[in-house]
Amino acid sequence: MNSKVSKLQELKEGLSNIKVLEAELAGSKWNEDPSATSVADFQDSLLKRYQEAKSTYMKRRLQGFMVEHISEFDENTNQFDIPDIPGMTKAASGDSSDSGSVDDAQTTSIKEKHAKAIAALEAAAHGVHATLSNIRNSYQTVISRRKELEQMVHDLQQDDENADDSAVESEMIIDNEDCDVEREKTERLQQRKRELQEEYARLVKAKEERMESISQSREELALLQKEEVKVTNVEQDASKFKEKIKELKEMKEFYDSLREVMEELGGVKILNAKEDSTSRHVFLTLAIYESHQIEVELEVYRKTMLKLVSAKWLTSPVVTSVFEENGPDGDKKQEHFSLPMDPLDDLVQTAKTSMGPPHDLRFIIRETCARIRFLQNRVDDLAILRRRVLTKVIGNDQVVCSLNEGIVIVMRLYDQWVKVEQIVGVSGWEQSATEKIQSVVSRKEESWTPNKVVDLVQKEIERLQTKDGLVLPKTPVLPIRRMDQVNRESD
């Protein structure tokens, strides 16, 4: 029993010593693979130490040389009487061929020494790597042995609690030869495991490189296949492209004709579009109802839209009405009547202050077309009115008409209606009669025009004549004309 306890105690002490050693080895960096950064730092530090050692050696060698030859210093020439160095005399005398051969021999010798040094260094590195690998295998073996000892101690403690003293002593008999064989086998297995891990890592790296190469090859193959498909499609679809071009030309002609129809129906046609190289503004020339042209200036707004800057008339802003009638001699003559249009400044100001692109340009075009249409209708109506009665147009919004019945009508023209401001009778008209006529035309309707107002006044005068017995005042005769008439009667 005592021997068993002593052996168990020895196992525990050995196990504790192994743990301490394992902890010390695990705390060092010998078990880690050097990184690329650490290798580069080590190379830099090694090169730096070599240069420092070389510099120190050269300084000390020069100091020793000077001390050795201090007695040969010549104060007159301030130079040392240095003895000739073998192989340098010929070089100093100008024998270039011998000097070149000596330099070549030295260079060859240095290269050979350098190659030998590199070979020796590589051999030493391989040896260090092999030694380090063996140490790592041994370290893994120690770890596995430590785990086995822990398990053995644990089993011994369990057996000590549950078994008799005699059974425990019989189980403690261990064959030393079997233990040695198992230990060697475990070490070989650990070393084999380490080699297999390194081989596995190498194979994984090679596999990754191969997969990258395969992936790149697949991409290149896919690109080549796409190019082949494109070339094949181009060759096969040449006739289809021609048919498509023909179809697009037909579509272009159709849309051009459709655009011309829309311009004809809408009355707005784009004549020209140009860009100013200095201000980078776009100047758009539009023809409205064929006879009126305006120029709209636009600027780039937020890189995607065009904003209104100004608009002006290019043609004379006048709306004209032309009538043809037969003269007394059978010839046709033309009568012209026109009214001026206002500038577009008020429309531009309204569009710039209350609208943004593209509504500002749309507003300018729409309102300009409306002004032209409205003023054209007014001019046509006034031209007809001038042929019927004596008419005077004041500005663009006031009309004074003189009827044969002795009535003068003053009208104010607005956008949607006509307002009769005053009706005056001359040559004996009573005010009550003119008030009745004005009451008929005092209301405002959108369909009324100056011609319509004159028609209503004439119809009301006829009604008053037939129903109310209104007698139209006669036009007074001048005294001179009356005396002439008396003289003609006496004759």
Look at residue 291 in the predicted model and tell me its pLDDT: 85
Domain-terminating residue out of 383, 415, 431 = 383
Note whether 394 and 471 are same-domain residues.
yes
Judge whether 290 lies within some domain.
Answer: no
Closest CA to 318 of 295, 290, 342: 342
Are residues 379 and 402 both part of a single domain?
no
Model-wide pTM > 0.75: no
Least confident of 109-113, 158-162, 220-224, 262-266: 158-162
Phi, psi of 292 (to 5 degrees): -120, 135
Are 407 and 426 members of one domain? yes
- What per-residue confidence (pLDDT) applies to 329? 52
Q: How confident is the model at residue 350 (pLDDT cuts 50, 70, 90)?
A: very high
Tell me, yes or no, whether 351 lies in a domain: yes
Q: Are residues 189 and 227 in the same domain?
A: yes
Number of domains in the chain: 3
End-of-domain residue from the set 363, 383, 403: 383
| Separation of alpha carbons 453 and 472, rounded Å | 20
Q: Return the minimum-mean-pLDDT range out of 144-158, 308-322, 472-486.
A: 472-486
Looking at residue 349, what is its pLDDT? 92
Q: Which SS3 state, helix, strand or coil, does residue 245 take? A: helix
Residue 207 located in a structural domain? yes
The per-residue pLDDT for 298 is: 92
> Does 422 share its domain with 343?
no
Residue 170 lies in a domain: no
> What is the pLDDT at residue 203?
84
Nearest Cα neighbor of 18 from 208, 122, 174, 147 is 147
Supply the range of the domain harboring residue 455.
390-481
What are the tokens at 472?
């139209």
Do 434 and 368 fall within a single domain?
no
Residue 458 has pLDDT above 80, yes or no: yes
* Residue 40 forms part of a structural domain: no
- The answer to whether residues 213 and 205 touch, using CB atoms and an 8 Å cutoff, is no
Report yes or no on 82 lying in a domain.
no
Q: State whether 397 and 472 are in the same domain.
A: yes
Q: What's the whole-number mean pLDDT along residues 236-248?
A: 80
Last residue of a domain, one of 329, 348, 383: 383
Helix (H, G, I), strand (E, B) or coil at 423: strand
Q: Are residues 364 and 305 in the same domain?
A: yes
pLDDT number for residue 89: 42
Q: How far apart are CA 64 and CA 58, in angstroms?
A: 10
In sequence order, what E strands does 56-134 have? 73-74, 79-80
Max mean pLDDT among 42-51, 177-186, 258-267, 469-478 falls in: 42-51
Q: Residue 203, Cα to own-chain centre: how many angstroms?
A: 46
C-alpha to C-alpha distance for 310 and 140, rounded to whole angstroms: 91
Asked if residue 233 has pLDDT above 60, the reply is yes
Instruction: Please report, in angstroms and rounded to a whole number, the separation of the first and last CA atoms in the chain.
Output: 192
pLDDT tens-digit profile of 61-107? Answer: 888 877 777 777 777 776 766 555 444 444 444 444 455 565 778 78
Q: Based on the domain organization, do 329 and 398 belong to the same domain?
A: no
Q: By C-alpha distance, which of 100, 102, 187, 109 is closest to 141?
A: 187
| Confidence tier at 109 by pLDDT (50, 70, 90) | confident
Q: How confident is the model at residue 486 (pLDDT cuts 50, 70, 90)?
A: very low
Structure tokens at 119: 């070979």
pLDDT at position 182 over 70:
yes
Question: pLDDT band for position 311 (50/70/90)?
Answer: very high
Mean pLDDT check: name the lowest of 5-9, 160-164, 416-420, 477-481: 477-481
> In sequence order, which residues have a C-beta less than 8 Å from that of residue 455 and are 6 or more positions away?
none
**Span 364-376, average pLDDT:** 88
Tell whether 37 is covered by a domain.
no
Q: Are residues 473 and 396 in the same domain?
A: yes
- Looking at every residue in the chain, the average pLDDT score rounds to 76
Asked whether residue 78 is domain-assigned, the answer is: no
Instruction: Check whether 481 has a pLDDT greater than 60.
Output: no
Do 363 and 408 have their domain in common? no
